Amino acid sequence: MKIIEVKDYEEMSKKAAEYMLKKIKSSSQLNIGLATGGTPKGVYQELIKDYSQNKTSYTHIKTFNLDEYIGLKKDDPNSYFHYMNENLFKHIGISVEQTHIPSGTNENTVAECEAYENMIKNAGGIDLQLLGIGANGHIGFNEPGTSFQSKTHVVDLADSTREANARFFDRLEDVPKQAITMGIHTIFQSKEIILLASGKAKQQAMVELLNGEVTELFPASILNNHPNTIVIADEEALRGVKKTTNAM
Ligand SMILES: N[C@@H]1[C@@H](O)[C@H](O)[C@@H](COP(=O)(O)O)O[C@@H]1O
């Protein structure tokens, strides 16, 4: 894993956007995996800023989101479909046909998971995956204990994850209890991965990720075995990490 330490959230967002734009501009076709949550919002703002200045073309891009809450309709303000549209898609001239997010309202969740996994495979896999990290080490919505072999599947959200995400909802009771997420294996198959982390809330997770063992109890730890992962994290998130690891 390559670690890029940056000053703060703004620099993290700029670095990641710069990296993505370089790929976007130099590829004839690119499948990008996208994340939600608070962390990537700054990256999306940078991509939007670039689009308004340079009209960078996204016609050769397909996107695949990591996850979606079960039970939320597309137009629900807390669905990840809505989040992606508002925070990125509608501002960069990308059509809905180019973007993919698991459906949280397909009653046959098993079929939905299988179809999503196949869609990624048939598109040729993910070239560049953007990731955030949960305080408990989750990536996508793969909670501690998830098999490293897992493909797209339904998850029961940990109480701590529901509490962390309650800030986006009116009440904790409104946070769905389940989600569909790409599996750890699905994510690991990405040719390249960028993991972002900013702020104090991610300190413990960074220590576990960069100084800890590779274990299913800390899902992101599998990235230590990935051949092409870059962590872009700010000083505050990295405070406490022992810099004598092979990672730094
Ligand atoms: N499913 C998302 C993850 O993809 C995200 O990485 C994580 C961290 O979120 P945040 O960036 O808001 O800290 O939370 C959510 O649960």
Interface predicted TM-score (ipTM): 0.95
Alpha helical stretches, state H, the chain: 9-26, 41-54, 80-87, 109-122, 159-165, 184-188, 203-211, 235-238
Confidence at 16, pLDDT banded by 50, 70, 90: very high
Instruction: Return the pLDDT at 211.
Output: 97
Positive or negative torsion for Cα 64, 65, 70, 72:
negative
**Domain count across the chain:** 1
Instruction: Return the pLDDT at 118.
Output: 98
CA of 134 to the centre of ligand 1 (A): 5
Q: Cβ(198) to ligand 1 under 6 A?
A: no
Q: Residue 37 CA: which ligand 1 atom is closest?
A: 12
Q: Does residue 244 belong to any structural domain of this protein?
A: no
Q: Does residue 78 belong to any structural domain of this protein?
A: yes
Q: Active-site residue 138, yes or no? A: yes
Positive or negative torsion for Cα 184, 172, 112, 81:
negative
CA of 123 to the centre of ligand 1 (A): 25
Q: Does residue 36 belong to any structural domain of this protein?
A: yes
Domain that holds residue 54: 2-238
Q: Does residue 184 belong to any structural domain of this protein?
A: yes
Minimal CA–CA distance to 152: which of 124, 107, 183, 125? 183
Q: Active-site residue 159, yes or no? A: no
Confidence at 244, pLDDT banded by 50, 70, 90: low
Average pLDDT, the chain: 96
CATH code of the domain covering residue 160: 3.40.50.1360
Q: Does residue 217 belong to any structural domain of this protein?
A: yes
Q: Active-site residue 136, yes or no? A: yes
Q: What is the pTM of this model?
A: 0.96
Q: Residue 181 CA: which ligand 1 atom is closest?
A: 1
Confidence at 28, pLDDT banded by 50, 70, 90: very high
CA of 110 to the centre of ligand 1 (A): 23
Q: Does residue 243 belong to any structural domain of this protein?
A: no
Instruction: Please tell me the distance from the alpha carbon of residue 200 to that of residue 238, in angstroms, as a whole number.
Output: 9
Q: Does residue 248 belong to any structural domain of this protein?
A: no
Q: Active-site residue 235, yes or no? A: no
Query: Which pLDDT tens digit goes with each residue over 153-208?
Result: 999 998 999 999 999 999 999 999 999 999 999 999 999 999 999 999 999 999 99
Best residue among 9, 13, 36, 43 to mutate for probing ligand 1's pocket (most ligand atoms within 8 Å of CB) is 36
